[in-house]
A and B are shown apart, each in its own frame.
Chain A
Amino acid sequence: MKLTAKIKNELFDVLIEEKLLNNYLIKIKNKEYVVKVLYTLNEYLVLSINNKINKVIFLDIKKRYLKILINNEYIDLIIDHAFYFKLENILSIAEKKEKNQLISIRAPMNGCISRILVNIGDKVKNGTILMYMEAMKMENEIHSNTEGVVTDIKIQINTNVTSDDILLLIKN
């Protein structure tokens, strides 16, 4: 099986051979790694890579990026040619920002919208505070990640939202 992985704009070709059940030989940039799967439960995985133990937690596997916590280090990763994955949206969609596109701002967490600072038609910049969300006793700022015009606000004050709900749309 062949894959291409992308970390911080650097591409890596990965060649994976299954040797035994749960034993793999993985080649990256002409180097070989002997990999054994020791344990897995949901998003938690323990691997031995050349006999060194690696504890891995997959975070946000649903989203465009694959975000991984490996041995207490955060890494974000985009996988191309992920033909085994059902998750087309894991591909690097986020990289493409075309003109006149509707961009949705999503809730980064579960919580309650406490204040909305913009109206439909407002021009916003990258980083503008759009609204405040209350979660775990704290007020959190929701920022715009693009420049454009607010075209739709999907929620009202004091509504509870869950992570990834669309809060508003911005046309850039």
Chain B
Amino acid sequence: MIKKILIANRGEIAVRIIRTCKIMNILSVVIYSEIDKGSLHVQLADEAYCIGGPHAQNSYLDMEKILKIAIKSSSDAVHPGYGFLSENYKFAHLIEAHGLIFIGPRAQSIKQMGNKNKAREIMINSKVPVIPGTKVLNSIENAIEEASNLNFPLMMKASAGGGGRGINYITSSNDIYKSFKKTQDEAFKAFGNKDIYFEEYISSSKHIEMQVLVDMYNNIMIFPERECSLQRNNQKIIEESPSCFISKEIRIKLIETAMKAVKAVSYIGAGTIEFLMDKKNNFYFMEMNTRIQVEHPVTEMITDIDIIELQIKIADKQSIKLYSNNYINYNGNAIEARIYAENLFNNKFIPSSGIINYLHLPGGPFIRIDSGIHHNTNVTSYYDGLLVKVIAWGHNRNIAIKRLITALDETNIVGCQTNIPFLIKVLKEQNVQLGTYDTCSIDKMIEQKEQSNSNLCMINTIIASSVKQILIKLQINNNINIGWQYSYYRKK
């Protein structure tokens, strides 16, 4: 029986897990680095332990220290969240070797799926369609030979890769000479494994993924698909469920394929199978994520199922039969936008950091906020820049999008720069409104440099900056506060 969980993560996902722990009457223990002392997850948890310096290697990635804290705090289980150690089979193994429960799949499954090339082979053997590609490439000669059987352009990918890193695009065999060594080096530097392989690049595709939950008693839950095609640099920024692009027939096919994939690795726990779908509705297995996903809330919003809760129950050897009948009913549409600390100036995206000195998070009907920040949070360059996820639900897609735009427009984060204006612009795009977007849409949008600064906006800007100058001159910057609810903070 799990009574106490150590959460080996930070930011919004740590907060998210703490919330479910509280609902389930489970005590939560968190770890934090020196720089995260005042962060939200530390304030909300039942117990918190500082485990080292700000560098992730000295804190959130230090397996031995985390294990020690788990034992010291007499936790029954460890929840890794996403990122950090969540897909590290050695960590899962270490936790289990010390008699604790790792809330995630078996170490073996993490290992199998963590190697993208191995995962491909397993899926091919189980008759799951994969993107045309190759096995691990031994040499440049081998690469050129293999490439001749494929259609250009290709992607040269790191076997141990993930999160959009370690990928180079190959448009001709000349590129192979240039990129082979480079990709190997990058792969080794980033993932400690220099194996690389080819996959065909499918342009204008859609990124469709299936959330699954499997318990020890072979009860399988497969959720309606999520569409995450809106990406920049292979990083998702807006996700929705269900996809308006997928018909009932295709959904059934996707569910059947996901079922095959799950059985191929005798998977237990929560996982996500990612597919690429081309224009002709053919879909191909891309990879399987063996952890909770950032975008899990959209699924929760339309199915009324707390995925973290079931993750914990599965780890606790409970049955999820009560919830599962393979096909899960869903209601309406949900769409999520990720607010990142990013400086988007001149169409460049640069990570931004700073202390949040003013924060207003939105509310309103059918809006869910998963936030990891609060007033005075120090957004540093040590960790991922995801600050807040805003999720909107609607009985149809249009209303969900409208609610999301309204909520984003209302959000106010001052102290570090965010991508909110960009998110709003994306959501107002015709492609997005109609659901006809694909994985290239955002890059195309960025390319089209907009010159939209209207005259009115310019005049307002001049007025605002002029007033700011006067305020600075009079040094009354912090003294004006007329009828505003957040005045409390200022008195400090």
Q: Give the interface of A toward B (CB within 8 A).
A: 1, 3, 5, 7-8, 12, 14, 16, 18, 22, 24, 26, 28, 31, 33, 35, 37-45, 47, 49, 54-59, 66-77, 79, 82, 84-85, 108-112, 135-140, 163
| A-B pairs with beta carbons under 8 Å apart, 23 shown | A12-B458, A35-B467, A37-B480, A39-B481, A41-B478, A42-B477, A44-B414, A45-B471, A54-B460, A55-B412, A59-B343, A68-B464, A70-B464, A71-B457, A75-B453, A75-B457, A75-B458, A108-B343, A108-B350, A110-B380, A135-B353, A136-B353, A137-B83
A39 and B482 within 8 A (CB)? yes
Contacts of B486 in A (CB 8 A): 41
A109 and B343 within 8 A (CB)? yes
A77 and B471 within 8 A (CB)? no
Extra contacts besides A22-B482, A41-B358 (15): CB < 8 Å: A14-B462, A16-B467, A35-B463, A39-B481, A42-B357, A42-B358, A59-B343, A67-B345, A74-B345, A74-B421, A79-B469, A111-B351, A136-B381, A136-B383, A137-B383
B351 and A136 within 8 A (CB)? yes
Q: A140 to B486: give the CA distance in the assembly, Å.
A: 36
Chain B: number of interface residues, binned into ranges: 35 or more
Q: A7 to B482: give the CA distance in the assembly, Å.
A: 31
Main secondary structure of the interface of B (DSSP, over half): mixed
Complex partner residue of A136 from B341, B417, B465, B468, CB under 8 angstroms = B341
Known: A71-B460, A75-B461. A16 touches B478 (CB 8 A): no
Nearest CB in chain B to that of A161: its residue: B381
Contacts of A22 in B (CB 8 A): 480, 482
Complex partner residue of A72 from B421, B459, B471, CB under 8 angstroms = B421
Binary interface profile of B, 328-348, with partner A (CB < 8 Å = 1, else 0)?
000000000000010111000
B363 at the interface (CB under 8 A from A): no
Complex partner residue of B381 from A7, A45, A77, A109, CB under 8 angstroms = A109
A-B pairs with lowest CB-CB distance, top 4 = A135-B381, A84-B473, A110-B381, A136-B385
Q: A110 to B466: give the CA distance in the assembly, Å.
A: 30
A12 and B482 within 8 A (CB)? no
Q: A12 to B457: give the CA distance in the assembly, Å.
A: 14
Contacts of B458 in A (CB 8 A): 7, 12, 75
B469 and A109 within 8 A (CB)? no
B470 at the interface (CB under 8 A from A): yes
Q: A54 to B469: give the CA distance in the assembly, Å.
A: 17
Complex partner residue of A109 from B353, B421, B459, CB under 8 angstroms = B353
B415 at the interface (CB under 8 A from A): yes
Known: A68-B465, A135-B381. A37 touches B478 (CB 8 A): no
A7 and B462 within 8 A (CB)? yes
State which residues 108-141 of B face A: CB under 8 Å: none
Q: A109 to B457: give the CA distance in the assembly, Å.
A: 28
Nearest CB in chain B to that of A37: its residue: B480
Q: A135 to B384: give the CA distance in the assembly, Å.
A: 8
A47 and B463 within 8 A (CB)? yes
Binary interface profile of B, 442-457, with partner A (CB < 8 Å = 1, else 0)?
0000000000110001
Q: A136 to B421: give the CA distance in the assembly, Å.
A: 20
